[in-house]
Structure 1
Amino acid sequence: MLPRERQQQILIWMEEEGALRVSEISKRLTVSTATVYSDIKPLVEQQLILKSLNGIYYLPKKTHVSSYVCSYCNKQSNTRLSVQLIKLNQRIEHTCCAHCGLLRYQQIGKEVSQIICYDFLKDTMISAKIATYVINSDIHLNSCQPQVITFESVKKAKQFQSGFGGSIHNFEEAIQVMLEEKNGDRCCQPKRKRIEKNKRYLHG
């Protein structure tokens, strides 16, 4: 089977199954994992699939971007800190940062097929579900508080933490931290809720 034929077969599997490990693809195609990595490289570059440490994920071809405004706090979200939530209906929601992305996922998780963020150091796409999160570091970025920064591996997160502090969490833990901060009123809130809260304050 030629490389182009293998790539087409990989895309068929990805569209049907959503995600696969490289070792599984290697087994199905009866080729080495090195060959699989070579085959998927152009697919990743064309953003047809997403490669992560645990495998590869399918990115729907026909998606509708709802807006580049954060769907949680209404800030502009077309930055390297943004998070994409790909919904089952193939619409894409953007959030301005991982902080809002985690909270938005907690709200609509059942509607989401994939959630994607960017590695802070490499600026490459990674699956948010297997990313490592550093929360409340000393570095100051233009993002919502408490600040959340994403990394593709625990090792990279620990290297960053050694210089800039913060706490390290996996996906589920990071969501829980955001919920606790939200309940403690130290977290940004959706614009509508902030407006309602301000009205209550102004009118006693």
Structure 2
Amino acid sequence: MLPRERQQQILLWVEEEGALRVSEISKRLAVSTATIYSDIKPLVKQQLILKSLNGIFYIPKKTHASSYVCSYCNKQSNTRLSVQLIKLNQRIEHTCCAHCGLLRYQQIEKEVSQIICYDFLKDTMISARIATYVINSDIHLNTCQPQVIIFDSMKKAKQFQSGFGGSIHNFEEAIQVMLEEKNGDRCCQPQIKRRELYAKHIQT
């Protein structure tokens, strides 16, 4: 079987099953895992699939955000900032931002096979479980509060933090911060920009 034929078969399987281990693909196609890694590399680059540590996941085709409503706060989702939760039954939920994505994941964790988001700088798809999160930075994106910005590496997150502040967290830590803020009634509150706070300060 030629590489292109194997790639087509891999795409068919992952679309049907949602996720596959590289070792399982290797057995099915009777080739080495090194060959499979070589086969999936261009598929990952084209954002047809998402690679994890031990396997691959199906990525739904990117569509216009206006088609979706956030499954956590019911706002219209924003393609660049949205998060997709792919459930075990292959249904997909969309949230308007990482804030809502993390909270929704915490609600239905056992039903989710994969959670996908976008790197803030490159707008490329990444697995939310291996992403780095900057929370409560000074940049204002008109998202739910506390604001969460996603990066595909710790290095980029630290570079962003040096200019815009905020705290850096991994996936599990970010969920915990969201839960603590939610209990403090800061969840999904509209953001007041600095100049508005400054104007209020002058008036008092």
TM-score category, normalised to shorter length: 0.7 to 0.9
Summarize the Cα distance change of 1:89–1:70 in structure 2 as closer, same or farther, 3 Å threshold.
same
Is 1:59 matched with 2:62? no
Is 1:36 matched with 2:68? no
Aligned residues: 180
| Structure 2 counterpart of 1:98 | 98
Give the drift of 1:143: 0.6
Summarize the Cα distance change of 1:5–1:107 in structure 2 as closer, same or farther, 3 Å threshold.
same
Summarize the Cα distance change of 1:38–1:121 in structure 2 as closer, same or farther, 3 Å threshold.
farther
Partner amino acid for 1:105? Y
Partner amino acid for 2:145? Q
- Aligned-CA RMSD value: 3.0
Summarize the Cα distance change of 1:78–1:61 in structure 2 as closer, same or farther, 3 Å threshold.
closer
% identical aligned pairs? 77
| Structure 2 counterpart of 1:183 | 183
| Structure 2 counterpart of 1:121 | 121
Is 1:144 matched with 2:144? yes
Confirm or deny: 8 A CA contact 1:6 1:39 kept in the other structure. Answer: no
Summarize the Cα distance change of 1:142–1:17 in structure 2 as closer, same or farther, 3 Å threshold.
closer
Q: What secondary structure is seen at the aligned counterpart in 2 of 1:79?
A: coil
2: CA distance, partners of 1:167 / 1:132: 10
Summarize the Cα distance change of 1:157–1:29 in structure 2 as closer, same or farther, 3 Å threshold.
farther
Summarize the Cα distance change of 1:85–1:176 in structure 2 as closer, same or farther, 3 Å threshold.
same
Partner amino acid for 1:109? E
Confirm or deny: 8 A CA contact 1:48 1:58 kept in the other structure. Answer: no
Give the drift of 1:58: 1.9
Give the drift of 1:92: 1.1
Query: Where do 5+ consecutive residues of structure 1 fail to align?
Result: 190-204
Give the drift of 1:9: 5.0
TM-score (norm 2): 0.75
